[in-house]
């Protein structure tokens, strides 16, 4: 009887290992998918808040400029400086996260035998990292130019600052749009991963 039990176990172990392997891996992907969707929801809320904040700053800037209200202009500039510093930190963090996701999806491509959906996920993750990198570079460039203009109230400086604030609004809108696209992709990936059961 002991030989029969050993023989049964020996034949069953490879099948059990194979059955547990993909499912265990798929479970890990599903956990990662849920984390990414929670992150997408946070980023969507943050992006919406950022856009509203920038639109408000731009409206207040225009109002103060139209009234030649020096103190109000300087107050908007101070808030703008805080926003830009916060946005640079957020962009660096998001870029780091996007690069991490790209590395993870590259490992999945290698591990899962180059499945079509894994290759697509990796392409999406690489594209997201590139977009975030470009946004960070643009924000840095705007920040540097604004740093040279803060406190200057001549007509040319006021006009240029207004254009730079408008550029930040456009960047915030683009980021909101990219986040919606990333959320759709992450939902698609979650559906694909849950279909492997």
**Structural domain of 65:** 47-188
Widest pairwise Cα distance in the chain:
97
Residues 6 or more apart in contact with residue 118 via CB below 8 angstroms: 105, 108, 109, 112
Please report, rounded to a whole number, the percentage of residues in the chain having pLDDT higher than 90: 46
Alpha helices in 67-115 (DSSP H): 70-111
- Residues 9-57: tens digit of each pLDDT: 555 544 444 444 444 456 667 777 788 778 878 888 988 999 999 999 9
Q: Which one, of 188, 88, 182, 79, lies nearest residue 135 by Cα? A: 88
Positive or negative torsion for Cα 42, 45, 49, 50: positive
Q: What's the total number of domains in the chain?
A: 1
Q: How far is CA 113 from CA 15, 21, 108, 110, 120, in A?
A: 20, 14, 8, 6, 13
**Does a structural domain hold residue 12?**
no
Q: What's the whole-number average pLDDT of the chain? A: 83
Alpha helices in the chain (DSSP H): 2-66, 70-111, 116-149, 155-194
**How many residues are present in the chain?**
197
Residues 6 or more apart in contact with residue 41 via CB below 8 angstroms: 183
What value does the mean pLDDT take over residues 150-178?
95
**Does a structural domain hold residue 93?**
yes
- Residues 53-86: tens digit of each pLDDT: 999 999 999 999 999 999 999 999 999 999 999 9
**Does a structural domain hold residue 197?**
no
**Does a structural domain hold residue 32?**
no
**Does a structural domain hold residue 29?**
no
Question: Residue 138, Cα to own-chain centre: how many angstroms?
Answer: 15
**Does a structural domain hold residue 40?**
no
pLDDT of res. 189: 78
**Does a structural domain hold residue 184?**
yes
CA–CA distance, 44 with 179 (Å, rounded to integer) = 6
Instruction: With a cut of 90, say whether residue 129 has pLDDT above it.
Output: no
**Does a structural domain hold residue 2?**
no
């Amino acid at each position: 009887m002991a030989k029969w039990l050993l023989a049964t176990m020996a034949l069953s172990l490879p099948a059990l290992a194979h059955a547990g392997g993909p499912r265990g891996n798929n479970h890990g992907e599903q956990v990662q998918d849920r984390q990414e969707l929670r992150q997408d929801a946070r980023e969507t809320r943050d992006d919406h808040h950022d856009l509203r904040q920038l639109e408000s700053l731009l409206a207040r800037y225009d109002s103060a400029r139209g009234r030649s209200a020096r103190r109000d202009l300087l107050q908007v500039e101070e808030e703008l400086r805080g926003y830009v510093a916060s946005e640079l930190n957020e962009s660096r963090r998001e870029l780091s996260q996007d690069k991490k996701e790209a590395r993870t999806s590259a490992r999945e491509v290698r591990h899962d035998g180059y499945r079509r959906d894994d290759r697509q996920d990796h392409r999406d993750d690489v594209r997201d990292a590139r977009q975030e990198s470009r946004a960070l570079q643009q924000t840095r460039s705007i920040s540097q130019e604004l740093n040279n203009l803060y406190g200057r109230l001549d007509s040319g400086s006021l006009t240029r600052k207004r254009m730079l604030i408008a550029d930040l609004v456009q960047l915030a809108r683009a980021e909101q749009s990219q986040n919606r696209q990333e959320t759709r992709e992450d939902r698609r990936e979650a559906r694909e991963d849950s279909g492997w059961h």
